[in-house]
Amino acid sequence: MSWVADTIEITLDLVRRAEKAGYKAIVLTVDTPMLGHREPDVRNHFSLPNHLTMANFAKVGGEHEHGVASLQDSGLAHYVSELFDLTLNWKDVKWLKSITKLPVVVKGVLSPEDAKIAVEMGCEGILVSNHGARQLDGVSATIDALPGIVQAVDGRAEVYMDGGVRHRTANIAERNDSCVQQGEAGVANVLRILNEELKHAMLFSGTATLADIGYVQFEMLVPGPGKATTPSSQATMVKIVPGSDGTPLNVLEYEEYAKEYFPKNTYDYFASGSDAMVSLKENREAFKRLVLHPRVLRDVSNMDISTTVLGHKISTPVCVAPSSTHRMAHPDGEIASTSAAAKADTCFILSTMSTTSLEVRSLCDLITVRGIHVLALSLKSILHLTMANFTAQNSGLTNYADYVSDLYDQTLSWKDVQWLKSITKLPVVVKGVLSPEDAKIAVEIGCEGILVSNHGARQLDGVSATIDALPAIVQAVNGRAEVYMDGGVRRGTDVFKATTNTYRGGGGWRIHCMAQGEVGVANVLRILDEELKHAMLFSGTASLADIGCVV
């Protein structure tokens, strides 16, 4: 059965009905009791047809709402979330074992640690599953998780797996339930096809029985030089056109929206990296290489994503990193983005190259120390904008790279940081650190924070992705200063992965959302927060402090 229901009486009723109907085992889904966030369902406003119900719960809770609960939910997800209990834990499995003589198989295990607990509880089987990747994105493929779990179980329980099993040559179905469109005949055909293909593979592998298969050597397919080692970096995107009823549901769709909304030179300026843009791509790909190993049966009913930055409590680790020229994206510029950050109760870092002055925007909690920025892309036709913090300097320059280079001093050194520390009592955070050696110097000088950043890969191409640089810097700092990061964050799972490296917070937004002004910034911050909570729910982590062991 799927999940332990909200009351003992309902679960007991299900078990007794299963026993009476002659079922041979109870299969209990043990990871977080709710549906995954499936954006196509949200966009399609998907809900159960009126003539359908969850038949095993027909008497539960009366009438359930079939409408969309929010932009980040679907009717079916809302329906299911009302049926189940977020306090589900291993004690519930122990109770289930106590009320039935049927074997109990736990489904949804992806970590060897949880497999061991299941065996110790007396579970007779473990079904290794990520639910067809329909719950939490970024977790390991079931076939990758399988060997570690088999080793951990060590023959004390049976181990099964699902996910990714498809027809080898013919285009039978994209999903393993698509055959149901032909009813019983379709299911029978798929089972027959897979059995025949299995026999075919055994015949050509010299294996007469399933027991013989273990002796066949498998070789991992490794891509050749220069070929990708990760899945395609581009998910199928819904084209969002201004004036349409399509609402961006994630950060990537906001980029698509901005591409339609901004003039080409504006979009190219915001979206580009330096030179060949290798590091720009790597900022994203590095996150994809980190695989989640969620834990199950942990009480996640009290979710807390709050953290602190330099002694100030904020509601989320998702902050707004410094980026220039917000008014080029929207007339309200930095005023809109700071207002959205303030309403989200999070931190905003004002760029030195902002189009709104420090005096106008007084919400900044962090001072950013930045080196010289020479932009590879010259952006012309922005004469209606000025760098508001430098209105007296070089107002006649029209080439942005020249404008910036004329403002800064190439002799900048650590002595200047020491001087800055001497003239202010404000905490000083150094941004742009990518090496542990520089992180140690910053700490020795007395800097209170380090923002690990390659400036969105817009400065020097070929540097490491920030998420790759982060662990060594955290280790070098060794708790003597706070560590933040920006770059490559597009999903709440990215925030989750970065948090495993014990960082405090970081930039998780894109200037593209400024196409909608304050509303766009607020939506992106909300989306990332909701996706982070979603990842935490499905990973058995109720607070940021619990995340450390999941990636």
Query: Which residues participate in catalysis according to the annotation?
Result: 455
C-alpha triplet 244, 511, 532: angle, nearest 5°: 85
Give the separation between CA 296 and CA 137, rounded to whole angstroms. Answer: 15
Instruction: Decide: helix, strand or coil at residue 158.
Output: strand
Count of CB atoms within 10 A of residue 457's CB? 26
Question: Residue holding tokens 């096809």?
Answer: 193
Instruction: Decide: helix, strand or coil at residue 388.
Output: helix
Instruction: Decide: helix, strand or coil at residue 302.
Output: coil
Residue among 479, 478, 483 at smallest CA distance from 467: 483
User: How far are the Cα atoms of 85, 119, 479, 540 from residue 89, in angstroms, in the given order?
Assistant: 10, 15, 33, 10
Give the separation between CA 93 and CA 110, rounded to whole angstroms. Answer: 17
DSSP, res 247: P
DSSP, res 345: T
Instruction: Decide: helix, strand or coil at residue 111.
Output: coil
- Cβ burial of 162 (10 Å; 0-12, 13-18, 19+) is middle
For 521-549, give the DSSP string.
HHHHHHHHHHHHHHHHHHTT-SBGGGGGG
Count of CB atoms within 10 A of residue 496's CB? 28
307-309 vs 312-314, strand pairing mode: antiparallel
Bridge partners for 29 per DSSP? 107
Q: How far apart are the first and last CA of the chain?
A: 28
Give the separation between CA 153 and CA 125, rounded to whole angstroms. Answer: 10
Question: Residue holding tokens 């952006």?
Answer: 379
For 208-226, give the DSSP string.
SSGGGGGGS--------TT
Instruction: Decide: helix, strand or coil at residue 375.
Output: coil
CB 253 within 8 A of CB 240: yes
Instruction: Decide: helix, strand or coil at residue 440.
Output: helix
Residue among 39, 36, 29 at smallest CA distance from 4: 29
